[in-house]
């Protein structure tokens, strides 16, 4: 579809193309080499919502949160030099977690490129290893094409971040604007052709299996294949375990959902991985936090791996049957060839592991008889208060693992956390983006005292935008996850992990955000209820036990059946 030609500035061509691509919200921070973009944005405020973050890293994390809950690409606009380099951590995070983000950075005028001009940096050279595509625009005529191409690449196939570096002379140059949506690139095939023989071979293995087990990753969510997954599992009675990013692909209450995989995952899914006879991985990459020691991982099983990215298949774990393709299509094709089955005894065998975990870990965490507040009980109280129907956003560390373990999910796209990169400071700006991406949903953000302080300036964004986000700091005056490793594996040598913290409630009030401190178990129910009664953002600071540990735990590099429970 082509629009009539009109002579406009490159900066306006950028904004018109964003709107044509369906963008309604951008996260950004202005600066010298992006001023023409912001000048044009002044005339488009009714069509493009600009969210002024307090740091460019926060802009990318906010765009990630927006993308993860909305299913649309998040958009960032920043200036050159430090503005661009401040986005790099977020871009790397988006790459590892397959999050579609388009980052548009201003750049010095093209005649100055390579001269070490003020705030010039080689953004493309820096960004290429951590993006699906990075491109520098030097002419206004390229803008519409480059931006549309960026959205196509970021949002199709295995999603990921794209960077467009926009020279200032391209922003101010005049162009006969023509928009033509990019929906094909000759060298890029986002949806691989499905091999019917692979589907048939996989179905044959599953139909013959006595102890099949499914590993569900974020690829199911990214391909909008939640219903196909449910039909696949239910037709053959296949129990499933979830990666951290795949958690909400299936409701927590579904009988075939056996819980979370990985280092701090549930006992059953980890043990059964090394007991099953057929292991079916769907849209996950066999990360080391899931596999542990590869030499002992699922050696007894025939492995089927469904993934859209051929480079992931066989990369870490040898595969019996590779199935390359979009999960929505491959799951549907595979389900059609499955025989109806139940595997009742096999599914029931998870119950013994569930009882053991409940007795040794969960009861201790959720129903302590005495002592300081525990992280898990705070998380569960919050989840119960929203009827297990909210978007969980976490920072990274113990708060993250306790959050994903004890929050429950009834809808898809309900978990926003930093998986592959493990970025402290991710949570607060991601919660802002999640609220813009799903304004009608309740957003609950959990942080540790360490991660919160890395991006707490984004409270200013919450204040300015008058957002309603429920924020909970699990405060133990430590960098908790590092301290846990120091306790268990480094002879309790707590080097660099003790934190002297500020008055978080006072900081929150300085931004006009209501806050409350809770330290006693008998006050927790009322504190949580007050937080949700309040119409607007709220910070609940929960002072939890200083030396709490996240269990179960599989030591790094150990066999996944070597599970510590802290008895």
455 vs 55: CA distance, rounded Å? 8
Of the residues 16, 132, 168, 211, only one is catalytic, namely 168
Q: Is-catalytic flag, 119?
A: yes
Q: Residues of 170-193 as b/e, b for ≥16 C-beta within 10 angstroms?
A: bbbbebebebeebeeeeeeeeebe
Instruction: Yes or no: say if 216 and 229 are a contact pair by the CB < 8 Å rule.
Output: yes
322 vs 310: CA distance, rounded Å? 9
Instruction: DSSP for 501-527, please give it.
Output: ---HHHHHHHTT-EEEEE-SGGGHHHH
> Count of alpha carbons within 13 Å of 359, Cβ hemisphere only?
6
Task: Say how many Å lie between the first and final Cα of the chain, rounded.
Answer: 65
Of the residues 6, 47, 118, 189, only one is catalytic, namely 118
Of the residues 119, 235, 457, 532, only one is catalytic, namely 119
Q: Give the largest Cα separation in the chain, rounded.
A: 72
Among 486, 454, 470, which residue's Cα sits nearest to residue 538?
A: 470
223 vs 412: CA distance, rounded Å? 12
Q: Is-catalytic flag, 21?
A: no
507 vs 509: CA distance, rounded Å? 5
Q: Residues of 463-495 as b/e, b for ≥16 C-beta within 10 angstroms?
A: eebebebbbbbbbbbbbbbbbbebeeeeeeeee
Instruction: Yes or no: say if 453 and 397 are a contact pair by the CB < 8 Å rule.
Output: no
51 vs 38: CA distance, rounded Å? 12
25 vs 433: CA distance, rounded Å? 9
437 vs 67: CA distance, rounded Å? 7
Of the residues 9, 12, 16, 56, only one is catalytic, namely 56
Bridge partners of residue 515, in order along the sequence: 539
318 vs 337: CA distance, rounded Å? 24
Give the DSSP H/E element, type plus range, for residue 482.
Answer: helix 480-489
Q: Name the DSSP letter for residue 348.
A: H
Of the residues 242, 424, 456, 481, only one is catalytic, namely 481
Q: Is-catalytic flag, 120?
A: no
Among 137, 42, 140, which residue's Cα sits nearest to residue 80?
A: 137
Q: How many residues does the chain have?
A: 567
Instruction: Yes or no: say if 446 and 474 are a contact pair by the CB < 8 Å rule.
Output: yes
Give yes or no for a cis peptide into 552 (omega within 30° of 0).
yes
Instruction: Yes or no: say if 87 and 59 are a contact pair by the CB < 8 Å rule.
Output: yes
Q: What is the 3-state secondary structure (H, E, C) of 384-419?
A: HHCCCCCEEEECCCHHHHHHHHHCCCCCCCCEECCC
For residue 97, CA distances in Å to 138, 421, 444, 495 come to: 30, 8, 20, 30
Residue with tokens 């010298």: 32
Among 431, 396, 403, which residue's Cα sits nearest to residue 61?
A: 431
User: What is the pairing mode between strands 470-475 and 133-137?
Assistant: unpaired
383 vs 472: CA distance, rounded Å? 12
Question: What are the residue numbers of the active site?
Answer: 56, 118-119, 168, 481
């Amino acid at each position: 579809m082509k629009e009539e030609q009109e002579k406009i500035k490159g900066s306006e061509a950028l904004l018109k193309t964003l709107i044509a691509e369906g963008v309604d919200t951008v996260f950004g921070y202005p600066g010298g080499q992006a001023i023409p973009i912001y000048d044009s944005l002044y005339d488009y405020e009714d069509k493009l919502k600009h969210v002024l973050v307090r740091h460019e890293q926060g802009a990318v994390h906010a765009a990630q949160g927006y993308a993860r809950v909305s299913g649309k690409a998040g958009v960032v606009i920043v200036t050159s030099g430090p503005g661009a380099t401040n986005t790099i951590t977020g871009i790397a995070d988006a790459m590892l977690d397959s999050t579609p983000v388009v980052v548009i950075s201003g750049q010095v005028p093209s005649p100055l490129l390579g001269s070490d001009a003020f705030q010039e940096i080689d953004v493309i050279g820096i960004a290429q290893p951590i993006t699906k595509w990075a491109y520098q625009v030097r002419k206004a005529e390229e803008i519409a094409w480059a931006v549309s191409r960026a959205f196509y690449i970021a949002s199709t196939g295995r999603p990921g971040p794209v960077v467009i570096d926009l020279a200032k002379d391209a922003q101010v140059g005049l162009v006969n604007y023509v928009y033509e949506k990019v929906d094909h690139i000759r060298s890029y095939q986002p949806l691989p052709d499905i091999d019917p023989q692979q589907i048939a071979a996989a179905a044959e293995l599953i139909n013959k299996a006595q102890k099949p087990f499914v590993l569900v990753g974020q690829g199911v969510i990214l391909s909008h294949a939640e219903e196909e997954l449910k039909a696949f599992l239910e037709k053959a009675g296949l129990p499933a375990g979830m990666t951290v990013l795949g958690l909400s692909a299936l409701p927590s209450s579904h009988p075939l959902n056996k819980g979370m995989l990985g280092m701090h995952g549930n006992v059953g899914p980890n043990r059964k991985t090394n007991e099953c006879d057929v292991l079916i991985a769907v849209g996950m990459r066999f990360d080391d936090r899931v596999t542990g020691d590869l030499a002992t991982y699922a050696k007894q099983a025939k492995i089927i791996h469904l993934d859209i990215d051929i480079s992931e298949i066989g990369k870490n774990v040898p595969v019996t049957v590779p199935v390359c393709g979009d999960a929505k299509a491959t799951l549907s094709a595979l389900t059609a060839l499955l025989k109806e089955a139940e595997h009742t005894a096999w599914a029931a065998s998870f119950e013994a592991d569930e009882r053991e975990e409940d007795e040794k870990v969960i009861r201790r965490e959720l129903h302590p008889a005495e002592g300081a507040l525990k992280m898990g009980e705070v998380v569960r109280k919050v989840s119960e208060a929203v009827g297990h129907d909210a978007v969980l956003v976490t920072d990274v560390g113990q708060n993250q693992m306790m959050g994903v373990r004890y929050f429950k999910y009834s809808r898809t796209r309900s978990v926003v956390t930093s998986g592959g990169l493990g970025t402290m400071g991710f949570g607060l700006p991601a919660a802002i983006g999640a609220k813009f991406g799903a304004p009608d949903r309740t957003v609950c953000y959990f942080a540790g005292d360490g991660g919160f302080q890395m991006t707490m300036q984004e409270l200013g964004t919450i204040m300015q935008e008058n957002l309603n986000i429920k924020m909970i700091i699990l405060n133990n005056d430590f960098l908790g996850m590092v301290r846990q490793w120091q306790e268990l594996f480094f002879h309790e040598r707590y080097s660099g992990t003790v934190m002297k913290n500020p008055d978080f409630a006072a900081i929150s009030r300085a931004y006009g955000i209501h806050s409350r401190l809770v330290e006693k178990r008998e006050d927790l129910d009322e504190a949580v209820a007050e937080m949700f009664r309040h119409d607007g953002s709220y910070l609940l600071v929960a002072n939890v036990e200083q030396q709490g540990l996240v269990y179960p735990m599989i030591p790094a590099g150990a066999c996944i059946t070597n599970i510590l429970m802290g008895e």
